A and B are shown apart, each in its own frame.
Chain A
Amino acid sequence: MIKDEMLAKRPISVLEKIEESLERLNQKIEVMIEIQKGGGQRSSVSLPDASLDVMTLLSMPDHLRKTAMAICRCDRATAEEIAGQTSRARAVESAYLNQLVIMGYLKKQRKGRKAYFYVERETQG
């Protein structure tokens, strides 16, 4: 009953939550596909906060390298902006970017309805 009232009052926010859940699900599926592609080897799944250096870029599968190279050229970007650089569909770039987040190479920040992806290059000491 309470849920129904919520649905009636805040349909947009509910839809946004569904979208976020679907996106998280999509990320997990992408990682599972990636693991399967590697024949069960977890070489492409890295620890959180892995460094996106050039040797890592070289060892990446082609489809992820293209996305990673595009994000390296920007300070931060949305999936749509990356799709503009790679000439691939926004949904495809969104999946690859989220996969790179899970692998620890990128960070993701939500601002309103937009999700921004960036390489974290912390201040040097």
Chain B
Amino acid sequence: MSKIIAVHSYKGGTGKTLLSLNLAATLAKNGKKVALFDLDFRAPSLFSILKAENVECWLNDYLNNTCDAEKILVDLSSRIPGNGKFFAGLANPATEAIRDMSAKDRKWEMRALGKLLALRETLLKNQKFDYLLFDTSPGLQYSSINAIVAADFVIVATTSDRSDVDGTKRMLAELYNLFEKKTGLVLNKVLDSSATAKKAEMSNKIKSVYQVPMLGIVPCFCEILRAEGNLIFVEDKPDHPFTKIVAEMVRKIENNEVN
């Protein structure tokens, strides 16, 4: 069963953060204990979206071995209805921290991989978390590939953009396949308004192009753009079609139905 999930993409702006945040929130709404980590150290965003206050330790500190895993987790459970638990491990948005993370060498990245792999023991086994989600930076960044190696399941967010399609196909063949990772594809920002009606047809077409299972198809919703990254969408708009699409993705993940 997939317990550690990495959300990745070839290009930026494909909706990784939107997806990972709303998947994590939906899992928490379903009563699960979830931790979401911002591994986009070059452009941290979860700190702003979640408006976290009094952050004691950053994910950067954990990877630098100056802070324990438990201390970096910010408890946001009160923002989600129900008995689930929702935590976030945030990347430090300070310019100095971004510069510091960009200058790490291979030895440090090797140790960082070890720290991510250790989360399975410290959080999943000892702290009884049900799911850990990694929101990554796009492309072949060290932090993203570390997250992919540490994950059980990789969600690849992509769009219909030609360069994104080509790049995603290359990444599937030359990255995820080499690491033998279970992968699910999310096609985001689909313009065709009849996408829902043609779902099965579209899903088969995408499967034949990418040769990987589909996790979901997300139409382009103006309401999401209007929210301007200010909220946890599935929590703020429980009846919106996007919330239902995310709930269906979560159902597939929980039932191990991505194939």
Partner-B contacts on A (CB < 8 A) = 51-58, 62, 65-66, 69, 72-73, 119, 121, 123-124
Contacts and interface: CB of A to CB of B under 8 A. Distances in A.
Interface of B: 64-65, 106-111, 113-114, 117, 142, 145-146, 148-149, 175, 178-180
A123 B149 CA distance: 22
A58 B110 contact: no
Contacts of B109: 51, 53-55
B132 to A, nearest CB: 15
Nearest to A60: B178
Contact of A51 (B65, B110, B180): B110
B146 A54 contact: yes
A69 B179 contact: yes
12 contacts: A51-B110, A52-B110, A53-B110, A53-B142, A54-B145, A57-B149, A72-B149, A119-B110, A119-B114, A121-B111, A124-B65, A124-B108
Question: Which secondary structure dominates where chain B touches chain A?
Answer: helix
B146 A121 contact: no
A51 B142 CA distance: 13
6 closest A-B pairs by CB: A54-B145, A53-B110, A51-B110, A51-B106, A53-B106, A124-B65
B145 A55 contact: yes
A73 B4 CA distance: 13
A1 B212 CA distance: 68
B113 A123 contact: no
Contacts of A62: 178
Q: Majority SS of interface residues in chain A?
A: helix
Contacts of B146: 54
A58 to B, nearest CB: 6
Q: Which of A54, A58, A66, A69 has the most CB of B within 10 A?
A: A54
A55 B117 contact: no
Contacts of A69: 149, 179-180
A121 B180 CA distance: 24
B34 to A, nearest CB: 22
Given A53-B142, A54-B109, 6 more contacts: A51-B109, A54-B146, A119-B110, A121-B110, A123-B65, A124-B65
Contacts of B106: 51, 53, 55-56
A52 B214 CA distance: 32
A51 B117 contact: no
A49 to B, nearest CB: 9
Contacts of A66: 180
A53 B110 CA distance: 4
A124 B179 contact: no
A96 to B, nearest CB: 16
B114 A58 contact: no
B117 A58 contact: no
Nearest to B146: A54
